[in-house]
Structure 1
Amino acid sequence: MFHREGQTIILTTFFLVITAVLVSQFYLDITWLRWAIQIIAVLILVLILQFFRNPKRVPVKSFDEVLAPVDGKVVVIEEVEDPEYFKDKRIQVSIFMSPVNVHVTRYPVSGSIKYSKYHPGKYLVAWHPKSSLENERTTVVVNTPKFGDILYRQIAGAMARRIVNYAEEGQSVQQGDDAGFIKFGSRVDLLLPLNAAIAVKLDQKVVGAKTCIATVINKMDDER
């Protein structure tokens, strides 16, 4: 299964590959060059198909867990000051996606979209410390009935030039559902309450809609 955001690119690439193969087959007399063009063309198609793959994920939905919104590697776990929405301190967990990772963004929690905003910006490498605030990005806040607001941020990397975000304010969403797509290398930040119990470690590989990033202590339980 392939993501809908890749349909145009996949069809265009498929057409160009078929054209390159046919032209090289019938109009090139140099055998090694003909084979080289055909092999490179097929490899490009395979890479495009691999990048836009969209494996079906059926999460075990839990109001007690924040699931990974994307596939990738955990590169940041730290306390930060959020200047955009919360205006206070949160725990940031950042997941870096290489070009070989699945790039579908999935909702980490169930709830209603309280905030969704696109920010144009730079294209620093996704692991750069300033990429969270200076790169092209979208910020989405999901309000959960049990734990309050959970923020995730899609961040374009040096190769990415387009972020797709499906979240609309007022919309009800389900944990694990398709929330968007980031084309090529990129990163997603999660901003969690300070009382969140982080369940992952630095450099750990995570799977979107499968890996538990954190459990959040119920405010009522925390007060007891």
Structure 2
Amino acid sequence: MTIHREGHSLLISLLILLTVLNAPLYYYMPEATTVHAIVLIVSTILFLLILQFFRNPRRTIPQGENLVIAPADGKVVVIEETSEEEYFNEKRIQVSIFMSPLNVHLSKNPISGVVKFFKYHPGKFLVAWHPKSSTDNERTTFVTENKNGIQVLYRQIAGALARRIRWYVKEGDEVKQGEEFGFIKFGSRIDVFLPLDAKINVNLEQKTRGGETIIAELPSA
């Protein structure tokens, strides 16, 4: 496991800040050992919480042109037929994965193919499970087309705590299943829109592992 590059500067700054906060206690209050211990414990817990958020664990990526893998760690909170109005303008099966602050927040390509569409939307920061978060929150939309001509839309959605979305691909890029396409800092959600004849392999409340859990199977053509 490694630490993702998005966390390097923040973790270094946090370490410096916590050192600056702790050092004066030992210098000016050498007798207050209980205070030293409490502050040190709180500082250590805070640093470890932020550190685990930026972890980048190794995953075994399943290979298959018809497989759709989870774009993120989290919990499946939506599986429903809905109308996708931004790109397809037709009915699709929506699978949504909610990420808590304790989850890995890497965003990984659910399929291999070519990015046919990308758009960034500035917006609000409603809690990620709010019904209007998909349309009102800050978000990005990607559409990737596999070699069989089947398109999958997936959307990073910022939450109440996630106020910085990163993306590393653009329209026209060729992407590989399981490789990272972005990062969302702190709690958030990713929606995936699949063809109606896709076979869904996950259930509501099921935990997913980004780049590893197979959430659906696409038709072969």
| Shorter-chain TM-score above 0.5 | yes
Which TM-score applies when normalising by structure 2? 0.96
Which TM-score applies when normalising by structure 1? 0.95
Residue pairs, 1:22-171, within 5 angstroms: 22-28=23-29, 29-171=31-173
Out of 214, 217, 223, the residue aligned to residue 216 of structure 2 is 214
Aligned to 2:22: 21
Between the aligned residues of both structures, percent identity stands at 51
- On the 8 A contact 1:140/1:167 being kept in 2, the answer is no
Which contiguous aligned blocks of 4+ residues in structure 1 show a shift greater than 4 angstroms?
Answer: none
- On the 8 A contact 1:69/1:208 being kept in 2, the answer is yes
What SS does structure 2 have at the residue aligned with 1:168? coil
Give the deviation of 1:147 after TM superposition. 4.7
- On the 8 A contact 1:98/1:185 being kept in 2, the answer is yes
Give the deviation of 1:158 after TM superposition. 0.7
Alignment partners' CA distance in 2, 1:167 and 1:142: 11
Alignment partners' CA distance in 1, 2:28 and 2:69: 53
The letter for the 2-side match of 1:7 is H
Task: State the superposition RMSD in angstroms.
Answer: 1.1
- On the 8 A contact 1:69/1:108 being kept in 2, the answer is yes
Q: Which moved more, 1:52-61 or 1:176-185?
A: 52-61
The letter for the 2-side match of 1:34 is H
Structure 1 segments unaligned to the other structure (5+ residues): 220-224
1:11 aligns with 2:12: yes
- On the 8 A contact 1:20/1:38 being kept in 2, the answer is no
Alignment partners' CA distance in 2, 1:25 and 1:104: 38
Aligned to 1:181: 183
Alignment partners' CA distance in 1, 2:185 and 2:193: 22
Would you say how many aligned residue pairs link Structure 1 and Structure 2? 219
What SS does structure 2 have at the residue aligned with 1:24? helix
